[in-house]
Amino acid sequence: MKDQVEKLILEVEDFKTTDTNELESFRIRFMGKKGVMNDLFKSFKDVPNDQKKEFGQLLNTLKVKAQEKHTKLKSELSANTNQNTNKPDDLTLPVLNDQLGARHPISLIRNQIIDIFSRIGYTVSEGPEIEDDWHNFTALNFPEEHPARDMQDTFFIDEKHALRTHTSSVQVRVMENNKPPIRTISPGRVFRNEAISARAHCIFHQVEGLYIDKDVSFADLKQTLLYFAREMFGEKTEIRLRPSYFPFTEPSAEVDVSCNICSGKGCNVCKHTGFLEILGCGMVDPNVLENCGIDSSVYSGFAFGMGIERITMLKYQINDLRLFFENDVRFLKQFQSA
């Protein structure tokens, strides 16, 4: 009997586990109702009186050791499981795709402009951002010494190449490569050597429009722009044309739309004029048609150019152009449902 208890004590001392089920079996084997401990206590009465004291002490040692062992292993195991739950997420798991991005407001308005003009038959054309002198200036009737060629406005790459300063360069390419009738818009990035402020940036976006056919008149231009303004800013929008100058159009005009904030009554945004400038336009200068291989005695046409940033600022009442380039998600998120 004594030997049996001593063996059990050794078993308890040697017992090790990292498994909660094994620990539970240990508890049942030693401390359970039908466990060895109870059996031994029951058989205590059969032990001869002179050995009772020694046997009792042994039994007690076994009991205490088994309990200590159980408590120790139990706390180790629960510390381990806590550690497990504090572990970083499993990085090999597939990503939950619940962070949807939003389209950039400039892209939203560019797409809207393309949509509006495609409904009246305009195609979309594109040209290079690095442009040669001919397409950016000369073909568009810029005199050799015109101030727009000045280093201050233009990022020159070499003697003959620059970052395009406007998308009007694309109209030259389209006319060179296509026969009238031509109806196209050319959206794209343009570059000017400007100081960055709330109202100006050295990179911005324009959409150029070009319509060349027989008998195209200024009235067609006006009606096209009225259609555009009403589709973009609402059906009650009015437009106003002011005479202006561009080397590539004659006559030329700048176009204002009635202020969509105060409906033309006058407010801070329109500086109490009731109107906001949105684009430049005019009848394509015969020199430009000829430069691009189009017979100006047969064909005429109009062109217009607008800044996408400006239209977007008016449409969403954004007062600082720099927001478009900062990629601040707090700004961009606001266009998620647009």
- Give me 84's structure tokens: 């497990």
Stretch that binds ligand DAH, among 7-15, 36-44, 76-84, 303-311 (CB under 6 A): 303-311
Query: Which of 106, 303, 314, 321 touches ligand DAH by CB under 6 A?
Result: 303
* Bridge partners, 182 (sequence order): 212
Q: How far is the CB of 273 from ligand DAH (least distance, A)?
A: 20
Minimum CB separation of residue 280 from ligand DAH in Å reads 3
Tokens 């027989």, residue? 214
Q: Which one-letter DSSP state was computed for residue 306?
A: E
d(CA 147, CA 155): 14
Contact status, residue 300 vs residue 67, Cβ threshold 8 Å = no
Regarding 246 and contact with ligand DAH (CB under 6 A), the answer is yes
Alpha-carbon dihedral sign for residues 138, 141, 143, 147: negative
Among 125, 224, 237, 249, contact with ligand DAH (rule: CB under 6 A): 249
The 3-state secondary structure of 246-293 reads ECCEEEEEEEEEECCCCCCCCCCCCCCCCEEEEEEEEEECHHHHHHCC
Q: Does 304 bind ligand DAH (CB under 6 A)?
A: yes
Q: Which of 142, 280, 285, 310 binds ligand DAH (CB under 6 A)?
A: 280
- Helix, strand, coil percentages, rounded to 5, for the chain: 45, 20, 35
Considering only the stretches 2-10, 151-159, 177-185, 280-288, report the one whose residues sit in contact with ligand DAH under the rule CB under 6 A.
Answer: 280-288
Stretch that binds ligand DAH, among 41-49, 87-95, 154-162, 278-286 (CB under 6 A): 278-286
Q: Does 105 interact with ligand DAH (rule: CB under 6 A)?
A: no
Encoded one letter per residue, x for contact with ligand DAH by CB under 6 A and - for no contact, window 188-227 reads --------------------x-------------------
Nearer CB in complex with ligand DAH: 127/280? 280
The 8-class DSSP code of residue 91 comes to T
Nearest Cα to Cα of residue 121 among 205, 189, 213: 213
Q: What angle do CA 146, 151, 156 make, to 5 degrees?
A: 105
Q: Which is nearer to ligand DAH, 208 or 277 (CB)?
A: 208
Q: How far is the CB of 252 from ligand DAH (least distance, A)?
A: 6
1, 4, 30: which is closest to 15 by C-alpha? 30
Distance of CA 128 to the CA centre of its chain: 24
When CB distances to ligand DAH are compared, the closest residue is 305
Contact status, residue 207 vs residue 308, Cβ threshold 8 Å: yes
Q: Closer CB to ligand DAH, residue 48 or residue 243?
A: 243
**Interaction of residue 256 with ligand DAH, rule CB under 6 A:** no
Looking at 31-39, 45-53, 196-204, 301-309, which segment touches ligand DAH (CB under 6 A)? 301-309
Closest CB to ligand DAH among 105 and 277? Answer: 277
- Of 238 and 250, which CB lies nearer to ligand DAH in the complex structure? 250
CA distance 299 to 63: 110
Query: Which spans of this chain sit near ligand DAH (rule: CB under 6 A)?
Result: 166, 168, 208, 246, 249, 280-282, 303-305
